[in-house]
Structure formats: C-alpha cells, structure tokens
Structure 1
Amino acid sequence: MFHRIVLLAAALLLTACTTEVGGVPRPAQDGPVLTGLAALQPCEIFTPEQLAFLELKEPQYYPAEVNRKIPHGCRWIVEDGGSVDIGISTPEITVREYMAGAVADTSFEAGGLPWQVYQGVVIESLCDLVVEFPDRSWARVGSSDFSGDGDPCRVAKLAAPFVAGKLPGGAPAPPPPAKQQSPLIGQDPCATLTTEEAEQIGLRASSVKPFPAGETSDGCQWSPADESGGREDITVTFEYEESIADSAPGEKPDAEEDLGGRRWQIFDKPADIDGMCRVVTAVSESSHVAVMSSNFVAADKTCELAKAAAPLVAPKLPGS
C-alpha cells in the first residue's frame, strides 16, 4: 500500500508540473518564441539507437510555463519502471528558480560538459542533472526510480553523454554500447541432461520436451519414471535477460550449495508455494538457469529432483 501511495503521489506531482500534449512536439509556451538553446526540440534529442539502449518509450512533449518556472521538455517512460525527462530552459527561467533555491549535491563531467546533480529536491526518488551555460541558459536530464532500492540518477547519467552531443560545447555523442547477449543464447535447455543422466536420477528420458517459457526464456521438462510418493515433473529454464534477484524480488535463498562445480541458490517454497523448489545459478549479471521440482505429498522431498539434476546440468552451462 505504501508503495502505491508513493507512486500515486509522484504521478500527481509530475502531472502538476507539466501539461503533456501529443502529436509532433513543437514549442508552445506562454512566453516569447524560443531561440538558441531553447529552440532545441526535446523529444527529438535522442536517436532511435539511443532510445533503444536507454529503453525509453512513449515520448510526451510538454510546453514551457514561464509563470510556474517550468521550461519546455519531453518525458519518456522507462521500460523497467520510472521515467526520463529532458528540459530546455527559456530566458525567463533560471536554474535557481526551477530548483526552488536548492543547492547541487555534487557534480561530474559527461560529454565534455560539467553536470550538477540534484537529488531529492522534491522527493528522494527523483534526480536532476543540470548543465549551465555562460548566457544563463541551461538544460536538464531527469530520471526517477520509485522501487525504493534503485538509483534515481542511473538512467539520467546514461543519457547525459547523448544529450551533451546536442548542446553547445558538448562532445559528439558516443555510439550506444552494444547490448550484451546472454551466454545462454544458442544453447538448448533440453541438452542439459543426457538420456543416461535423466534415467540416473529417476526421470523418464523419453518424456523430454521443450516448452516456451516467455519471450526472453526457454525451458525443458522431464517426467519422473516413478510418480509414486508425490513426485512431479522437473524443469530446466534458461532466463536470458533476468538476474536471479530480479526473478524473485524480495526473496532470499534458503541455502546455497556448490553442485557440479557451480554455486547454486536454493529456494524451498518459492513465492511462498508449499511443495515447490527452485534451484538457480547465475551465468551472467543479467541471466540465470533455474531447475525446478515439486512434491505436494512429501514436503521433505520437494527439492530432491532439482538438487539431483543441478550437478548434472552445471557442466553444460557457460563458464563451467
């Protein structure tokens, strides 16, 4: 409930600060016609490649409101939560007025320009990076993170070099870094257990079958040769774009073990489901492998098959 209240309050705050308009973004403010730096079109600052790297979508232009000390700008939604704002000053609005007299927390250089960092001026989950010019014009890059455990400045700092490339004195924007592919790409989860290995741990080798686990994952399933005693199917899933922490927000492993030369985290009763067991190992910062088994009859045997399979799966994984 608290999390929802914070999100609602932030949404109301952002809505109160701007008036969003759809269509082609063009300056529309209650002051003089924008010139110079202020004539830059905020929604056109990023290239398609930069937008893809930053994972931004749904741009919304908002006009300047000089009476309320708000420059015109553009806001994007970040795919994994939060938002990014670009604000371009008008001659009538100073940084001090916009920041309500707040002092920058720190500064850093990006794209050949000095950026001032303002965090928590309104609420702790908002961050503004501001660069000022000798004629008192300025630009800002803002980002937010309402998760409570992230860095509100993270996306703004990634965006700053791209924005600097469009500003006076800024260095040419670097190409966006190539997206790092998971080491699991191109591998088959059904190949993680051979026929002999499947039979060795009590699975019916002929039952092996792949299953679609989602747009960024693949899985494979085996059935036990003897289903008495509550044994259920076992699965091996490759998660190409999700870390272990992101796959189970807020959950802590019940144990960690070295199995087959890899470190595995064991979640007995994941998502608070009795009879389920999830054994996972990371293959990169943003991808992992999960082995799942279940037993809804004998609770003490829930992890039996998953822990038996993990040391056999381990040698087939990248980096083993």
Structure 2
Amino acid sequence: MRGSVFAVLSCATVLLAGCTTTVTGTPEPASPPSGEAQAVAGEPCELLTPEEAAALDYEDEGAFTAGDPGQLLPSFCTWSPLYDDVGRDSLDVYFSVDIPLTDYMAGVAPEWEKEIGGLTWARYPSTVGGESLCSLVTELSPSSFVLIMSSDFADESQACEQAEEVAPFVSSHLPGGAPATIEPREPSPLESVDPCSLLTAEQAEELGRRGDGDFLEAQDSLPARCEWIAADGDRRNSTLVTVAPDRPLPEFPLDTEPKEVEEGDRTWLVYPASIPGLCQADLPVTDHSYVAITVVQGDVEEDELCAMVEDTIPFVTENLPES
C-alpha cells in the first residue's frame, strides 16, 4: 500500500507531468564491481546492478519509465522492495541529460548537502509529500543530474534513509564517484533450524498443546513454521513457531508498542496482532533473520493471550542455537 501511494506522489512530484508507460528495465546481468562500470548517460536502470539492488533489499531489476524533457520529466527507474511487509517503499532514480537542475527544481535551494560516495548530494524540498518524501540530487553538469527519491510516510525523519543508503552505489556508476562495496551479510544461526525442534513434546503439553507439532512449508511471504494445536484437538486454538533464516523482521502493526521480554541474553518483542484472538512475540536474530511465536486462542482476553505467549518464550529460547 505504501509503495502504491509513493508511486502516485512520485508522478505528481515531477511537475504533474503524469505517469508514463513503464516497461521492465534491464540492468547488466554480469556487472563488474562497483566503481568500474559507469552507467550510460540517461539510463537510470544502469545506476544499480542486480547484485547491488538485491543487497539493498530491492528486486534485482528496475522498471524503466521514459522521460519527457518538454514536461521537465527525466527518465527514471523504479525498484520495488524485495519484501512487502518491512515498511520499505519503492525507490525511484532519475537520470537527466537535457534538463538543467535549476529548471527542474524551479530555482528552489537545497535544504542540506553532503558528500556520499565521492560526489556531493543535496536534499531538495518536495512540494508534494512534504518531509515524508526525500529528493536527493547530485548535479553532473549544467544540464545533467541524478535524483534518488525515497520516502517514509510513517516516520518522516527517516525519509532520506533509503536514498542515502543507495547513494554510494549510484555514485559508483557516475563520473567522479568512488567505488562501493557490497558487504557480506551476517550469517544466521537459524539457517538449519527446524521450527518443530523449538518445542519438545513435554513443553508443548505443558503449554496446553498436543505434543506433536505439524510442520508447515514456507510459502510466498510466510517462512516455514510449526503448529501445535490445542490438547483437546480444537484447531482454532494453537501455538505456532516461525523460523525465518533469510528475511528481515516484518513491521509491527500500526499503533503498536511491543513489550520487551528478556529471556537470558535475548530480547523478545511481544504484541497483540491486528487480528483479535492472536498475540505474537518476535525475536530478531540478525538483521535478516528472526523467530516468531504466535498464539491463537479465541476464548481468552488479550492480556491472558499474550501471557500464553510469554509462557512459551523460555522454552523456545532454550531450544535455539547460540547466536
């Protein structure tokens, strides 16, 4: 939903020129290391390689939209977030070769500037989206510039976070930019963990569940998980343990303040889910892996439901591998 709103605002920002036809961009499939391959002028989809986009949690290929200089609209490329539940918006990168930056910005001065990746980048105010929208720009010549547009409508103070994270890689494909390195991702100790191993039969029975858990395969955005149904066989009431070894923790429901629960050297985040009768606890293990406990129990109040989650935390923590 946030990505869709962002796309509308992005089109409105370019002087209400309107959205043009979008086709799939084709970044080079075997790009040399960052800093060695400069993008072709005016080709925004060449400003991130597939490897760089994936490392930044975007789909590896961007979608190209042709520009219209007569409407002061440069060509741009849109990368969709790799995960749709982590609060990350789409990213737009514009590459102008025939529109002066002063004309595009209608003479407006930048709010601040800083050096990123060997180039000077400046944030310009947005007339659409306000502080929730970030336009980060580097000027290449009097008639050429690159603009990275990101947003955060939940926390406007973070609007430029994605743009600044991407800027070193974009810089590396521009004249004068410094090489950028894709840092190896921290390995997760969850890579070989079976979610059904995180509660023993005795522990499950102590929690009012049947001892044998049912393994549920990963599907779409749902990681692999294990379900223990109620001891009386009522499948409407159950405990699920999810193990996600290769994806970041999803966003919490809106207006939710998770409760921190310490167990050993781990900190779990407990909160009622947006659906009545569910309470959940999340444990971030690395920046791209987590464990979750979900209790489904329709015949108890919210406080008691979340207490059932907290009762489960010591058992699951005990059975986790050391981080």
TM-score by length of 1: 0.76
Sort the Cα spacing of 1:298 and 1:175 in 2 relative to 1 into closer, same or farther, 3 A.
closer
Query: Are 2:148 and 2:167, in contact at CA under 8 Å, matched by a contact in 1?
Result: no
Q: Offset of 1:21 from its aligned partner?
A: 5.7
Matches within 5 A, 1:151-166: 151-166=158-173
Show CA shifts across 1:93-126 (max 9, x none). 3221111111111111122122222142543233
Q: Residue by residue, what CA displacement relative to the aligned partner does 1:35-62 show, whole Å, maximum 9, x if unpaired?
A: xx98443333332212323414442232
- Structure 2's unaligned 5+ residue stretches are 27-38, 82-87
2:291: which partner in 1?
Answer: 289
Matched to 1:73, the amino acid is S
The residue type paired with residue 50 of structure 1 is E
TM superposition shift of 1:195 = 2.8
What does 1:15-34 align with in structure 2 at a 5 Å threshold?
A: 16=17, 19-20=20-21, 22=23
Structure with the bigger percentage of strand: 1
Q: 1:306 to 1:164 in 2, by over 3 A?
A: closer
Question: 1:233 aligned to 2:267?
Answer: no
**Counterparts of 2:2 and 2:49, CA distance in 1:** 37
Q: Which of 128, 132, 137 does residue 139 from structure 2 map onto?
A: 132
Tell me whether 1:82 sits opposite 2:93 in the alignment. no
Matches within 5 A, 1:164-179: 164-171=171-178, 173-179=179-185
SS at match of 2:224: strand
Q: Which letter does structure 1 place at the counterpart of 2:17?
A: A
Name stretches of at least 5 consecutive residues in structure 1 with no aligned partner: 26-36
Matched residue of 2:17: which SS?
Answer: helix
2-structure distance, mates of 1:148, 1:272: 21
CA contact (8 A) 2:65 2:77 kept: yes
For the Cα contact (< 8 Å) 2:269–2:283, is it kept in 1?
A: yes
Q: Do the aligned partners of residues 301 and 45 (structure 1) sit closer, same or farther apart at CA in structure 2, a change above 3 Å counting?
A: closer
Distance 1:285 1:59 in 2: 27
**Correspondent of 2:205 among 179, 199, 202:** 199
The alpha carbon displacement at 1:160 in A equals 2.1
Is this contact kept in 2: 1:75–1:85, CA < 8 A?
Answer: yes
Residues 198 and 73 of structure 1, relative CA distance in 2, 3 Å threshold: same
Deviation per CA, 1:160-208, whole angstroms, max 9, x where unpaired? 222323322222x323233445442221111112233333434332x32
Aligned AA (1:60)? F
The structure 2 residue matched to 1:45, chosen from 44, 47, 61, is 47
Question: What is the identity, as a one-letter code, of the residue corresponding to 2:67?
Answer: P
Deviation at 1:286, TM superposition (A): 4.5
1:148 pairs, out of 147, 151, 154, with 154
Q: Secondary structure of 1:16's match?
A: coil
> How has the CA–CA distance of structure 1 residues 11 and 239 changed in structure 2, closer, same or farther, with 3 Å as cutoff?
farther
Q: Deviations over 1:63-92 (max 9, x none)?
A: 341x4334x3222132242331222232xx
How do 1:274-285 and structure 2 match up within 5 A?
275-285=277-287
Report deviation, 1:281.
2.8
Q: Give the fraction of aligned pairs with identical amino acids, expressed as a percent.
A: 28
Q: What is the letter of the counterpart of residue 274 of structure 2?
A: A
After superposition, where does 1:63-82 map in structure 2 within 5 Å? 63-65=67-69, 67-70=70-73, 72-79=74-81, 80-82=88-90
Q: Secondary structure at the match of 1:217?
A: coil
Aligned to 2:31: none
Match of 2:85 in 1: none
Instruction: From the superposition, tell whether residues 310 and 3 of structure 1 become closer, same or farther in structure 2 (CA, over 3 Å).
Output: same
Match of 1:109, SS state, is strand
Structure possessing the higher relative contact order (Cα contacts under 8 Å, 6 or more residues apart): 2
Give the secondary structure class of the aligned counterpart of 1:130: strand
What is the one-letter code of the residue matched to 1:222? W
SS of alignment partner, residue 214 of structure 1: coil
Alignment partner of 1:311 is 2:314 = yes
Q: Quick one: structure 1 residues 249 and 286, their matched pair in 2 at CA, closer, same or farther if it must change by over 3 Å?
A: farther
Structure-2 change in CA distance of 1:41 and 1:9 (3 Å): closer
Alpha-carbon deviation of 1:313? 0.8
**1:223 is the counterpart of 2:229:** yes
